[in-house]
């Protein structure tokens, strides 16, 4: 009977060795969880004249709420990204939306403009890049999603927590989405286990 737990422990040990929490950002051949470096603050406010008029009012409301709820110290990523993003629609036939974190572009669905823009702006708010594309230490981080040449982790929990934040701050402005519902439930439970609600947004 004891043989099964033994093999299980060995297997878990082997698997967990593939991941290593690093802070020094040296090159590594293992899959790595990256803690983003200190960010350069390029902007400390949003220049709304850079946002296309069609999207400007939704972005303004998003900024007002986010600045009310989140201390300015945590908004460095957001200011850097919002002032350099490009927001546009997918062609009519595509009822989809996405934030492309590697190049800071938002593509929206015409059918769910408000809902999809709030969601994608939350992705944008938490995005940072480390290193330069082509370098071994290059990584793209957005919320709890971290991707580099060796690994791509946290995509699901990131979508789940983004939905939780969207529901918390913006649900009165648009219909609720059931997309990522299961992931949102897992993220919510994780937040409860972590204990301090403010820690979730800080880590994000």
CB of 41 to Zn ion, least distance (A): 25
CB of 156 to Zn ion, least distance (A): 10
Pair of tokens at residue 131: 């290193």
Hey, how many other C-beta atoms are within 10 angstroms of the C-beta on 75?
A: 20
CB of 99 to Zn ion, least distance (A): 7
Site string for Zn ion, 142-171 (x = CB under 5 A): -----------------x------------
The residues near 45 (Cβ < 8 Å, ≥ 6 apart) are 79
Instruction: Count residues binding Zn ion (CB under 5 A).
Output: 1
> Is the Cβ of residue 32 or residue 77 nearer to Zn ion in the bound state?
77
Q: Which residue is nearest to Zn ion (CB)?
A: 159
The phi and psi torsions of 125 (rounded to 5 degrees) equal -60, -25
CB of 97 to Zn ion, least distance (A): 8
Pair of tokens at residue 192: 């409860």
> Is the Cβ of residue 118 or residue 148 nearer to Zn ion in the bound state?
118
CB of 194 to Zn ion, least distance (A): 21
> Is the Cβ of residue 79 or residue 180 nearer to Zn ion in the bound state?
180
Instruction: Please answer whether residues 105 and 140 qualify as being in contact, where contact means their C-beta atoms are separated by less than 8 angstroms.
Output: no
The residues near 129 (Cβ < 8 Å, ≥ 6 apart) are 102, 138, 139, 140, 141
> Is the Cβ of residue 65 or residue 157 nearer to Zn ion in the bound state?
157
Query: Could you report how far apart the first and last alpha carbons of the chain are, in Å?
Result: 42
Residues paired with 146 in a beta bridge = 141, 153
- Chain positions contacting Zn ion, by CB under 5 A: 159
């Amino acid at each position: 009977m004891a043989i099964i737990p033994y093999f299980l422990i060995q297997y878990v040990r082997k698997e967990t060795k593939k991941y290593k929490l690093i802070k020094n950002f040296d090159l590594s051949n293992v899959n790595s969880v990256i803690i983003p470096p200190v960010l350069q603050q390029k902007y400390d406010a949003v220049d709304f004249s850079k946002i296309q008029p069609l999207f400007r009012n939704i972005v303004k409301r998003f900024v007002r709420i986010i600045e009310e709820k989140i201390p300015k110290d945590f908004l460095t990523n957001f200011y850097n990204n919002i002032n350099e993003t490009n927001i546009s629609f997918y062609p009519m036939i595509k009822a989809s939306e996405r934030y492309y974190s590697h190049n800071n572009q938002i593509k929206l669905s015409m059918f769910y403009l408000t809902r999809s823009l709030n969601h994608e702006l939350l992705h944008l708010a938490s995005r940072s890049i480390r290193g330069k594309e082509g370098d071994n230490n290059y990584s793209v981080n957005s919320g709890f999603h971290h991707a580099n040449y060796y690994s791509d982790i946290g995509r699901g929990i990131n979508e789940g927590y983004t939905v939780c934040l969207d529901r918390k701050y913006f649900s009165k402005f648009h219909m609720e989405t059931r997309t990522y519902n299961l992931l949102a439930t897992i993220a919510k439970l994780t937040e409860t286990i972590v204990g301090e609600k403010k820690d979730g947004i800080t880590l994000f």
